[in-house]
Amino acid sequence: MCGIWAIIGEQVTPQQQDAFMKIVGRGPDLTVLDEVQPNVHLGFHRLAIVMPGDTPSAQPIVGGGLSVVCNGEIYNHQSLKIDCPYTLKNGGSDCAAIITSFIKHNEDLKETCASLDGVFAFIMADSKNVYIGRDPIGVRPLFYGYNLNGSLLIGSEVKCIEELCERVEYFPPGCCATISLAAPSRPIQPQQYYSVPSIADRFLSIECTQTLVRDILVKSVEKRLMGNRNFGFMLSGGLDSSLIASIATRFLKQKPVAFSVGFEDSPDLEAARKVADYLKIPHEVLVITPQQCVDIIPEVVFALETFDPLIIRCGIAHYLLCQHISKSSDVKVLLSGEGADELFGSYAYMQRAPNALHLHKEILRRMQHLHQYDVLRCDRSTSCHGLEIRVPFLDKRFIDLVSRLPPTYKLMPMKLEKHLLRSAFEGWLPDEVLWRSKEGFAEALGKTDLGDILASHCDKLISKELYEQRAERFPDRTPETTEEYWYRQIFEETFVYDKMGHLVHTKVYRTAAWHRPDEKENIINSPDSENILDVKSDDLLRLRRRSTGSLGVA
């Protein structure tokens, strides 16, 4: 995990340098801010994962008239570096493969990005252009905006460019763009080089599918063990994180450490302990209290740059655990299970889809917004504590396989959610974990639902009079509960809503394809608006927010 930053069009001011330093937590081991072309400055905060402290992994990487800074890992870097005609400064970095691939593909940026197997957000420059690219799902973040002078600013997080820009935009996942240095203030025109396959055309037998799912996921985990810092797992005790831990443990020579978090009475802590015992790996448990969860929320909102209750609730435990790992261990790289629920459609409301076609449409929609939800939470909760998270389920090959499977394989009557995934890994985990039904990270903190704790706190914190005036204070996306009111209040005390509020996607679980259009949110000017299925239902669910994105009937 690193932090990248750039300003194109002017010299760096002290205020801009201060903004760049707001993301130093992403890379506490080295900070560089270089002018690589006239009025083109590239900034880099490094977290040392590969060859710690060694100069070949520093950035910018320079060669062939190109300079690049990248936040990411390129897993096929060795093959992309073969026969490079140039000697690169800092060429030992895996991210040097961006330059070598760009040269090999005759400066075709789309082909270059498509050739990269990994997660990345990069800014590259030569004497004529600036080039930017982001990985297929948006595992690594990237934002941009323009200042009053027309100069372009780019950064890993909103907080490092917001005060400098008139308006902040996210650079879309699976896209790249070329910006001419002759006209850097022209609007960026992203070009899409990747999209999640939308047609389920892999008609394979269950047995063949199980083999492919197992083999590709194992390879996905193995390639993510690149680096020589200590590895750890975010172990919730659920299926996804436990599977990743089981696979990785088979490859790592040094025993990884499993980390879990919960209230004292958490059922998940016991499940996580069983997994750690089964894998014979050290297991550290962070026991937290409801009051700690409440007290940390302002920090979580600042780190996550959102006011969506779903992300914040899940982010609380994640943030506290990463804070603990950073302070108490030498682990720097964490493996996690994010992405499996979206790919396999295993959230409770998704498993109640009217049919498999509707589920398939919802999976595609959730994948489209993943960079605004679980991926965002993972990145921000870890990076601010100087940690790096890797998510094997979001490997490009694995996504391409699972998204093309028959939707009926993900919606099996009388079968547990993710039955296909579970059955593919028989014997890799204890049966009581492998066949345990899904629990949300936040709900499983203890026998008392975190949502109930927060709702009770906010009902006392936000007076009835204040809440009744919510539409006057927050006319756009008016909060529907006192909890939402509090998060929105904290958010607007921290960020300028008019500049970046539009980046926050909210209540993704309330906009499923089978809901009526008049019940939806985030529809206007949203990609969802082009993909609404005309599904009629006589019985609308009254929905209750839950941190997993599940829907409960009130």
What is the block-wise mean pLDDT of the chain (554 residues), using blocks of 10 residues? 94 97 92 96 87 65 96 95 88 93 97 98 98 98 97 98 97 98 93 96 93 98 88 92 96 93 88 93 95 97 96 95 96 95 94 94 95 95 95 98 96 94 96 81 68 94 96 96 98 96 89 61 47 35 32 28
Contacts of residue 336, Cβ cutoff 8 Å, sequence gap at least 6: 233, 234, 241, 244, 378, 389, 390, 391
Q: How many residues appear in the chain? A: 554
| β-strands 552-553, 40-46 pairing | unpaired
Kind and range of the H or E run holding 191 = strand 191-192
Angle between helices 482-494 and 309-328 (to 10 degrees): 60
Q: Say if CB 72 and CB 95 are below 8 A apart.
A: yes
| β-strands 61-63, 143-146 pairing | unpaired
Contacts of residue 59, Cβ cutoff 8 Å, sequence gap at least 6: 2, 32, 42, 44, 46, 68, 69, 70, 90, 93, 95
DSSP string, 387-414: -EEE-GGG-HHHHHHHTTS-GGGTS-TT
For residue 176, give the DSSP letter. Answer: E
pLDDT of residue 13: 96
In angstroms, rounded to a whole number, what is the distance separating the alpha carbons of residues 129 and 66?
A: 10
pLDDT of residue 273: 93
In angstroms, rounded to a whole number, what is the distance separating the alpha carbons of residues 114 and 1?
A: 21
Q: Say if CB 96 and CB 80 are below 8 A apart.
A: no
Helix (H, G, I), strand (E, B) or coil at 118: strand
Residue 451 is assigned to a ligand binding site: no
In angstroms, rounded to a whole number, what is the distance separating the alpha carbons of residues 335 and 221?
A: 9
Q: Say if CB 493 and CB 466 are below 8 A apart.
A: no
Contacts of residue 50, Cβ cutoff 8 Å, sequence gap at least 6: 57, 93, 94, 226, 227, 228
In angstroms, rounded to a whole number, what is the distance separating the alpha carbons of residues 379 and 261?
A: 18
Distance of CA 65 to the CA centre of its chain: 32
Helix (H, G, I), strand (E, B) or coil at 452: helix
In angstroms, rounded to a whole number, what is the distance separating the alpha carbons of residues 438 and 417?
A: 8
Q: The tokens of 235 are what?
A: 């172990």
Kind and range of the H or E run holding 544 = strand 543-544
pLDDT of residue 286: 96
Contacts of residue 267, Cβ cutoff 8 Å, sequence gap at least 6: 237, 439, 444, 447
Return the percent helix, strand and coil in the chain, to nearest 5. 40, 15, 40
Q: What backbone torsions phi and psi does residue 121 show, to the nearest 5 degrees? A: -140, 125
Helix (H, G, I), strand (E, B) or coil at 69: strand
Q: The tokens of 420 are what?
A: 């296909």
In angstroms, rounded to a whole number, what is the distance separating the alpha carbons of residues 263 and 520?
A: 34
Q: Which residues pair with 42 in a beta bridge?
A: 6, 34
Residue 126 is assigned to a ligand binding site: no
In angstroms, rounded to a whole number, what is the distance separating the alpha carbons of residues 502 and 123?
A: 24
What is the set of active-site residues? 2
Kind and range of the H or E run holding 485 = helix 482-494
Q: Say if CB 403 and CB 197 are below 8 A apart.
A: yes
Helix (H, G, I), strand (E, B) or coil at 84: coil
In angstroms, rounded to a whole number, what is the distance separating the alpha carbons of residues 413 and 408?
A: 9
Cα atoms in the Cβ-side hemisphere of radius 13 Å centred on 245: 33
Among 118, 335, 95, CA closest to 230: 335
Residue 94 is assigned to a ligand binding site: yes
Contacts of residue 423, Cβ cutoff 8 Å, sequence gap at least 6: 206, 210
CB atoms inside a 10 Å sphere around CB 78? 10
Helix (H, G, I), strand (E, B) or coil at 322: helix
pLDDT of residue 535: 33
pLDDT of residue 480: 95
- Own/partner contacts of 497-501, CB < 8 Å, gap of 24 or more, are 498/167, 499/145, 499/162, 499/165, 499/166, 499/167, 499/168, 500/158, 500/162, 500/167, 500/168, 500/305, 501/476, 501/477
| β-strands 191-192, 175-180 pairing | antiparallel
Residue 294 is assigned to a ligand binding site: no
pLDDT of residue 530: 46
